[in-house]
Structure 1
Amino acid sequence: LDVLFQDQTIGASTMDWDFGDGTGQLTGPGDIAHTFTNTSASTQYFDVELIAGTDFGCTDTTLHTIGVYPPVTALFTMDTAGCSPFSPIITDLSQGANNYLWDMGDGTLLVGPSPSYTYLNNTTNDQQYTVTLITTSAFGCTDTLDQPIVVHPVPVAGFQATPFTQQYPASTVSFNNLSGPGNWNYSWDLGDGTSSSAQDPADHDYGTWGTFTISLIVSGTMCSDTAMQLVEILPPPPTASFQGGGQGCAPLTVQFTNTSVQATNFQWNFGDGSTSSATDPIHTYTVPGTYTVTLTAFGLGGSANTYVQVDSVIVHPNATAYFVLQPTQVVVPSQPVFTYNLSGNATDFQWDFGDGTTSAEFNPVHYYQSAGTFDVMLVANNAWNCPDTFLLESA
């Protein structure tokens, strides 16, 4: 506390001051100033004594009491820089304060020891403010402290990658930067190991299928923002095809060779009620007829393609050879043996009577020339060359 003492003595030539704080001063007439210090937490009182003297040795004494209130100190710490929206942590370290008034530098006034406040910077440049704390003690004493604070702008990242979905071999993606205006830096990660620092990267060909995560980091001197998007390139659709089929006699076994591309799974329908999921199946047809074979191929992305071979397999019926002989015992060489041909699905017949003679007739009549026991065989055939043999032993 600075105190100015005004000299009101009369006739004095010397002034002997005792300020009550352990200090004093001997002066001539006139005003004098003194600074009192109070480092305690309570009011201190100082008894100031003045002894005025004349040249004749006469003196007079006066006494005044000075009260010095305890000091108040404004002190705080806070984060001095940050990205918008910025909420600095304010920690009050003031001493002797009873009231607090904060000027946040943007026209906002707050009270309390450690207020919370959020700064916004919607520009593209740093914004600087001065935070001022005015503390007041219970005795009305005040102290002030200023601290600067910087609020950095934050970019707003945004972009659009198109198309979102496409099917290979189409795999080219275009980029449109939708970030907020400003002198920003750009860092692209296209999701396949490719990067770019351009504001709008050139169209990018991924060259394969898959799901790719694209990210864009927009940054200023201190702050940044990130935007992300997925693009999907679907696997190519499968193409179903196969080789196999043909015709033959029942039972007919057919080997199918799968020539499909971009396929992972298969479903066969052989046209006779039988199916298979094998890649290259082998199938046996037991019933004569004409069959349409269908192959459905499934790709990586779940897409499917079907290939149909109409009348791919033709299974011909077999001839059925059968006959009876009448009589089964004859007198040679005069008595004949009559054949009764009961064959089915046959147009061609080859008889072997077991005695070295043959016939191609439908129902031949045979005369044996010597006595004995003979095996008679009939081979019946048809237009599709599907023969059958019947042997009557010891006829």
Structure 2
Amino acid sequence: MDGQKSFWGKVFSASAFLVASFLPSSAKSSAIINSNIVPEHESSLKALAPKTPISKLLFLKKAWDQKNQWLAHRSHSSHRSHSSHASGSNSPSHYSSSIAPSTPISPYTPAPSTQPRTQTAAPTKVSKSPPTANMLIGSQTCRINEEVSFFDKSEGNVTKWLWNFGDGTTSSERNPLHKYAQAGKYSIKLIVSGADGSDDIVKENKITVLEKKPIAQLLVENPVVSQGQEVSFKDKSNGNIESWLWNFGDGQTSTEKNPSHKYQQPGTYAVQLKVTGPGGSDTITDSNQVTITEAAPVAEFSATKRNICKGQTVTFKDDSSGKASAWLWDFGDGFSSTAQNPIHTYIQPGNYTVKLKVTGQGGSTECTSKDYIYVSSDLLKAGFGQSHLSCTAGESVTFTDSSKGKIKSWVWNFGDGATSTQQNPHHIFLEADTYTVTLMVSSQDDVEQRCQKIIMVRPITTLVEKSELENQKTTDSSHGFAWTTYTLIAGLGAFGLNKLRKTLIKPKTDK
């Protein structure tokens, strides 16, 4: 009987202990005291008490049910004991129980319930895997020094990125920007890493980098000039350039890098430059780049003779180029002229410097010739005489020099292609004609003077009887002669000769 008390005492204590475990700490001690928990049973109760809250409740319920069963059994036993005493039974026990005191309390197993109940789900085991690398390239074709965008499209837990752009440079940014300095094809590699591992992806020859397109620029060093003057052009383009094409706006072109050009007409010209390189071509046209003004005339002159004697005249000729509207001559002896082609007489001997200034719409220029005219102090005068004023073909004529001054040379021109340097030459004219004979004499100062005369050369003639010519042809080609009337021999009929002239002009020749 004492064993049963001890057992159920433990049960009661356990029940109270379990109830107290769900109470606040302030009420816990009170619950333990009121349940009459024996202190020495506390360690046993802790050993019997389950560890989880649900099991504790189930255990408490089972203990509570067993307690009620025990109380009911005790009440029944007590009633039966009283009955036994009343009937004279001398049993020493106060109560009896069908539950053995030494029977241990087994964990309570609840019966299946149709009521829903809440349960805590067991943790799900997560499988770990490395990230999957992927990328997106903003532009697969670019030019040198143009920015290219790269985007990370990897999946999974990524904490680190390593980009390799294929040109020796890298980046640890997630979405970097990059510029390529050289043309070519480049492969891109991306390595992504996370807590569960790493992965990489390579895209071969994914980026094509082209040469930078050149930018055409030009410079005109002297944009305003007169026509005929050179204009210098300079290429100021940027980029890798292999060829140039200039258009000067007047129909002329050049493939030089820095050309020069002459414009022949006044006006304003737009210049165009096209540059071409590996990266492409570019063209620039600058309007009103070159202004060509009308060129000033370029002064230049000449004279009919430069060495003269005092008192002789010189005719000057304007040989200027360009459009001149005004002339100003300075003859060097204090006299001037505004005529285009003046005539001037020098009175005093000496050397004279001549100047000519010409003016036009484009401006004016001046030409100066030092010691251009020489005036000799000698009085040089050319002259000659001849043995015949007229002669017959084949007849010799003597020419006699009658010039005045210090003469050092004579030059004769007989007008038939023949010349002579003798002072007093002889000459035969072979054909009848009119000839101009010229004598040019030179002095010790190289002053020249000329003299000209005309000489008439007659054909060879013979006289024949009239009867010989009657009913005859005026020309007889079979004999190689031509018949004509020689007008210089006039009045033959007046002398009563009644004859005509047979004139030998020249033998007929086949041409």
TM (normalized to structure 1)? 0.45
Higher relative contact order (CA 8 A, sep 6+): 1
Q: Which has the higher strand share?
A: 1
TM (normalized to structure 2)? 0.36
